[in-house]
Amino acid sequence: MTHITVLGKTIDEAIANAMNELQTTREKLSYRILEEPQKGFLGIIGSKPAKIEAHVLPDPVEVAQSFLEETVRLMGQETTINKTESKDRILFELSNSEDAGRLIGKRGQTLEALEYLTNLVCNRHDQSYRRLELDIGNYRERRKQTLEQLAIRVAKKAKDTQKSCPLEAMNALERKIVHERLKSVSGVVTESEGKGANRHIVIKPQ
For 86, 121, 127, 136, 190, the CA distances from 193, given in Å and listed in that order, are: 33, 31, 34, 30, 10
Residues 6+ apart with CB under 8 A from 87: none
Domain boundaries, the chain: 4-56, 60-137, 142-205
For 35, 79, 182, 185, the CA distances from 97, given in Å and listed in that order, are: 51, 5, 35, 39
Q: What is the CATH number of domain 142-205?
A: 3.30.1370.50
Q: Of 36-40, 84-88, 94-98, 105-109, where does mean pLDDT reach its minimum?
A: 94-98
176-198: average pLDDT? 94
Domain 60-137 shares a fold with domain 142-205: no
Give burial (CB, 10 Å; 0-12/13-18/19+) of 189.
middle
Residues 6+ apart with CB under 8 A from 159: 187, 188, 205
CA distance 36 to 43: 15
Options 3.40.190.10, 3.40.50.1980, 3.30.300.20, 3.40.50.300; CATH for 60-137 is 3.30.300.20
Residue 167: which H helix or E strand, with range? Answer: strand 165-169
116-131: average pLDDT? 85
Q: What share of the chain in percent tops pLDDT 90? A: 65
Give backbone dihedrals phi and psi of 20, rounded to 5 degrees, phi first. Answer: -65, -45
20-29: average pLDDT? 88
pLDDT digits (tens, 9 = 90+) for 162-172: 999 999 999 88
- 42 pLDDT higher than 70: no
pTM for the predicted model, two decimal places: 0.71
pLDDT digits (tens, 9 = 90+) for 43-102: 655 588 999 999 988 888 999 999 999 999 999 888 899 999 888 889 999 987 677 888
Domain 4-56 fold: Defensin A-like (3.30.30)
